Structure 1
Amino acid sequence: MASAQTAEKVQKTYHTKATGDALRTVEKHAHDAELKLFGSCFCPFVQVWYSINSRRRTRIKSPNANPRLTDGVNARKRVWIALELAGWGCYESTVLMEYVDDIAQVKLHPHDPKEKAHSRLWADHGSTISFVDVNVAPWILRCSRVLQPYRGWQPPSEDSRFGRFIAALEGHAGIKATTSGDELYLDSYERYADNRPNTSQVAKAINEGRGLP
């Protein structure tokens, strides 16, 4: 009993490889391709790769697989998603989503300019997943996987509008194909929940009362 009382908590670490459905999707795209996507497996911004995976043949690699992620392609170095196409590179999740929407035959944005403008302001609750839905889905998915165990988040009623929206995202085949097992998120976000030193530049800036980097 004494040893149990004095035993230190085993700190969980970041996962470096996707798990579950997301891993199976990555393995399907492990072949060589002109368009390459680099990203961290647990970052919510990276999960918008659903918009790329669903409409274009893409090779997907982990952030540790190629130094170009933090060198030539991703100039900011702290953003864990980048895309490379025939020597050209870009980063930032929404920028990459816009780029893929521009070159894809199947659009996430509606064709009508007015509807397109509204889609940037409001989530589309229709039967077709929208550009906005894909942007917010990673954060919604992390409510039950991260906020609930670490901060006591309570899910909405299943018959509420928000509850139905969550259920629709959770059940969407494309979203599920880019979602790892719950343990990956539980492990990877523990350091954020514990506010460990040097977890991220953003956390450091907030703790020091500085502007965001």
Structure 2
Amino acid sequence: MPSTVDEQIHPHASGDAEKTVNAHSAPQDLVLYAGWFCPFVQRTWLALEEKELLYEYREVNPYKKEKEFLEINPLGLVPALVYQNKALYESLIINEFLEDAFPQAKPLLPKDAFERARVRLWIDHVSKKVNAAYYRTLQAQEEEKQKEALGELVEALQKYLDQVKGPWFSGEEFSLADITIAPWINRLYILKEHRGFKDELVGGKWKEYEKTIKERPSVLKTTSEPQYYTEIYQRYLRNEAQSEVAKATRAGKALP
């Protein structure tokens, strides 16, 4: 299978996300290396927007593994963050760094120590259970395997939803837990159109929570036009995508 299958992607963000990119084109001490289409990027992008930090957005095609970018992240994955000439990668680690490095900005973790730990616990659940089941559902080709993966996804979402205090995960304050799941909520329409996912399968207050997430201004500001996501996810639906996540899912391994 040719590695170029993923390289011919739409080159930049569109819609509201393009406006956000343009607003963050000036040089800053904080530089986000991003791929507009990537859900892992979006959760760091959301943290930057929520904390209202000054940052520079730089678009990278992670499939091309340019030498300059590999010097910033040897894994060649987005997002990556450079701050005062020091590089970090992995979206969840970056988000924790932003909390620690900019305490004067809007907090995205609760003050209460137990609640902070609870947020982190369910961030881990989203990363290990929700995300993995999402990609298995997306990439499965046999109907039986699609249904099995979909069942796992629904169960993982139900467990998460049981922990949501409302309107946000921790109650009145938007947190890193909401940020961590938001990009996949934003992309559930792909599974609704192609894999039989329905909000009613999750039940409870899922539709309300989903709507609240999708209407969050930071989510709207970091979301491109749906047709460009669809172009990319068609490759996943055919199980032809060559991203590291797609390859890990195909091999039955943990997501990178």
Query: What one-letter code is carried by the residue in structure 1 that aligns with 2:118?
Result: H
Asked if 1:43 corresponds to 2:87, the answer is no
Query: What one-letter code is carried by the residue in structure 2 that aligns with 1:199?
Result: Q
2:199 and 2:206 in contact (8 A); partners too:
no
TM-score with structure 1 length normalisation? 0.83
Query: What one-letter code is carried by the residue in structure 2 that aligns with 1:51?
Result: A
Measured in 2, the distance between the counterparts of 1:134 and 1:202 equals: 19
Describe the shift of the 1:187–1:102 C-alpha distance in structure 2 as closer, same or farther (beyond 3 A).
Answer: same
TM-score with structure 2 length normalisation? 0.70
Residue 16 of structure 1 is matched in structure 2 by 11
Measured in 2, the distance between the counterparts of 1:101 and 1:208 equals: 34
Measured in 1, the distance between the counterparts of 2:252 and 2:120 equals: 31
Q: SS at 1:72's partner residue?
A: helix
Describe the shift of the 1:61–1:161 C-alpha distance in structure 2 as closer, same or farther (beyond 3 A).
Answer: same
Q: Which has the larger radius of gyration?
A: 1
* 1:161-180 to 2 correspondences below 5 Å: 161-180=205-224
Describe the shift of the 1:33–1:201 C-alpha distance in structure 2 as closer, same or farther (beyond 3 A).
Answer: closer
Aligned pair count reads 200
Asked if 1:141 corresponds to 2:177, the answer is no
- Residue identity over aligned pairs, in percent, reads 31
Q: SS at 1:166's partner residue?
A: helix
**Which has the larger helix fraction?**
2
Residue 246 of structure 2 is matched in structure 1 by 203
Describe the shift of the 1:176–1:68 C-alpha distance in structure 2 as closer, same or farther (beyond 3 A).
Answer: farther
1:64 deviation in Å?
4.1
- For each residue in 1:130-156, what CA deviation from the matched residue of structure 2 results, as whole angstroms up to 9, or x when unmatched? 110000000111001x21223232233
1:125 and 1:165 in contact (8 A); partners too:
no
Q: SS at 1:133's partner residue?
A: helix
Instruction: Give the unaligned 5+ runs of structure 1.
Output: 1-10
Instruction: Give the unaligned 5+ runs of structure 2.
Output: 1-5, 123-163
Residue 61 of structure 1 is matched in structure 2 by 58
Q: SS at 1:164's partner residue?
A: helix
1:68 deviation in Å?
6.5
Query: What one-letter code is carried by the residue in structure 1 that aligns with 2:71?
Result: G
1:208 deviation in Å?
5.1
